[in-house]
Structure 1
Amino acid sequence: MKIRVNVSIAGAVLALVLVAATYFAIPYCIAEVPASADVGPRAFPQLICILAAIISVIQLVLVLMGKMPAKHQEISLETHGKTLLAMALALVAAILSSYISVVIATMLCSLLYLALLRVKDWRGYAAVFVTGGLLYILMRFALHIRF
């Protein structure tokens, strides 16, 4: 099944969501440092986020008013469904990694992805185990990362 998507509106809305998420994540990523100046370390990233949000809103308004030509594209839901499944499993792996090892969480979600796609070739599953094992050995013993 294919649907026709207005790429201009979708891009503006997606950019607005990403900018909002980044703006609200700044206090968790950048510590506030008491300084003698009025401008702290969060000022520049917040300014960039505000400017990007303004540009996204302007694009959205111009497209909705008809002042800017809208671009459309047909997308296949089957292909994009697999992409959304992979993104959802990546999010699950990120959440699981706070409870178990990041390598094991990623391996579990990769195996689940292969199973949901009904992959019957055993080499795909073996590749996940071998790659995960090698990454674990590399991180644990060569890079001395503790899990």
Structure 2
Amino acid sequence: MSPGRWRRLAAIAVIAAVLAYVAVPYLRAASLFVRAAHVGGRVEQFAAEHAHAVMVMPRRTIPTRSGEVPARFYRPDGSISRSVLLIPGIHSMGIDEPRLTALAKDLAGSGVMVMTMALPDLQHYQLTVRSTDVIED
């Protein structure tokens, strides 16, 4: 092979490696969307097979200036890329609301440590300024 051809092949290999490296976060995000939307078929099966296993920690309480608040952690196996706090909306089930737990598991399956925390006022269908204080604490 000529030196020019080797250079072209090396350049193509470097470009392919850079594109693969850049594409990984986008593929993880697409995997989360596929699992959360329950699209079914081979695509969802592939995404589910490549998701992290999730360990749901037992319910615990977090002390705040407004009193004890229930919380639950969803920990992915392997390395943790980031952490996120999920707070349920106005719903009496709080952190046990099925859509919230499903979202927390899907996020944790993407390598994100998730903490769900209930706001007692929202569980009682009340909008108060204490809710922001509880989140801050």
Q: TM-score band, normalised by the shorter chain?
A: under 0.3
Pick the structure with more strand per residue. 2
TM-score of the two chains, using structure 1 as the length reference: 0.22
TM-score of the two chains, using structure 2 as the length reference: 0.23
Pick the structure with more helix per residue. 1
